[in-house]
Amino acid sequence: MHFKLLSPKDLKAMEALRNSYGGGKEISSQIESLRDYQIRKKIAAEKGWGEMLEKAEAYTKRFAKLEDFVEKNGIRWTKKGVCTAQVSGFQGARPTFDCIGRVSENADILFPTEMISVVPMTEYYVYGGDLLATLSMAENILGASKFCSTNLIGTPLPEERFARLEKVSGERFERKDLGNGLSQISLKNMGTAFGNLGGVEVGNNNHLVYLDGVTRAALETGANFFLNPSWSTIVAACFYAREIPNLSFKISMLLSTQNAIQLRMLLNIVKEYLRDDGTSAIYEINIGNAATPETFVQCVREIRESGLPLISLAAHLRINPDLGRADFDWTENAHRVLEAGCDITIKYESDGESRPYDTMEAYFLPDEERNAKAGLIGDVIFHKCLRCDKDAKEIMRRGHRAVFAKISSRD
């Protein structure tokens, strides 16, 4: 690369941050130890979430099984192109639990294998057991292959978090005092409530705030997959996670990967910071809503031919009515991608019906309000899962394999 993306000063600050938590090997080891369900369940119970997990276990015993659908419908997977089912909006433990209960009452839904959450990493969410309980339900009880969390740099945090980061990194972070011991990064631009959901504002050295939040959540809960929607945080994360092999990232469509040119920009970043074993911290890229199926196929083929490790590509099939066009529907385009022999992750930000709290507002509710509206949010998630189930089953009827959570299979 003609100009290095990270300066020696940048590298030194990130290495200092990583070492302040024990170094890459220690971080990786702690993440792995906290992914065991019995350990998670014990900690969750101590924090008041034990009964919820026990009820969730009972609910999932009534879930539908893929084998029954395949046998009943005479499904044969004869074509290339595999579909992975992904649903967004699992906004914490209570809405996730509510959704599980609703699915258990509908014996026909196959559950998505990838789950996305956009809950700010508040002290309550990370250290109060909410995130841990959510991960326990998603990864351990449901058997989701991926649960993606989101660290928004403008999330209000105890001042001590910023003070520690400044001491460790040698950098300074412009912030405002919110009172009651809380501080918040000062945001200058119009954008989302916490700054970097759409890559709107990660100014100065605030990528370090992003990495610190990711690391703390990972060490506290075993979370190992995070949304990454900003150019600077993608570069920083690719370097930072070189020493943490079980930490990975999903690149949001809000970064605007709308064409192959932008994909190649990302691939240059991936190549620059490959791990020593040839793997990358980037697991998935969400292709933007403006892309045609031909562009999606081109991106798949360019990754295949790049010599880089394979990267999953996702596309929104339905989106929040306040995120884009209310009539947005990429379903037939997904069929065209699959017919071209390419794999695709089908992602649902919405079921297309504009329900209450089927909006980005649900991403920024305070902890107390989010919990109080768990039923409304859970209903939205349920209908996304229902839409995903119906579309994935049609994909299977057309001869392509679809991937669901482990709970939806007998094997």
Residue 222 belongs to a domain: yes
pLDDT band at 320 (very low <50, low <70, confident <90, very high): confident
Instruction: Give the number of domains in the chain.
Output: 1
Q: Measured between alpha carbons, how far is 6 from 205 in angstroms, rounded to an integer?
A: 11
Q: Is residue 42 part of a domain?
A: yes
Residue 349 has pLDDT above 80, yes or no: yes
Taking 60 as the threshold, does the pLDDT of residue 47 lie above it? yes
Determine, yes or no, domain membership for 165. yes
CATH of the domain at 40: 3.20.20
Band of residue 205 on the pLDDT scale cut at 50, 70, 90: very high
Q: What integer pLDDT is reported at residue 270 of this predicted model?
A: 96
**Residue 227, domain member (yes or no):** yes
Average pLDDT value for residue range 2-20: 96
Mean pLDDT of 285-292: 93
Q: What b-and-e string marks burial along 145-175, b requiring 16 or more CB atoms within 10 Å of the CB?
A: bbbbbbbbbbbbbeeebbeebeebbebebeb
C-alpha pair distances (Å), 79 with each of 50, 51, 339? 44, 44, 8
Position 302 in a domain: yes
Average pLDDT estimate for 58-68: 97
DSSP string for 126-140: HHSSHHHHHHIIIII
**What's the CA gap between 160 and 27, in Å, rounded?**
21
Question: 3 in a domain, yes or no?
Answer: no
Average pLDDT over residues 378-407: 97
DSSP class of residue 110? P
Asked, for residue 1, whether it belongs to a domain, the answer is: no
Average pLDDT, the chain: 93
Cβ neighbours of 327 (radius 10 Å) = 8
In a domain, 203, yes or no: yes
Range of the domain at 31: 8-408
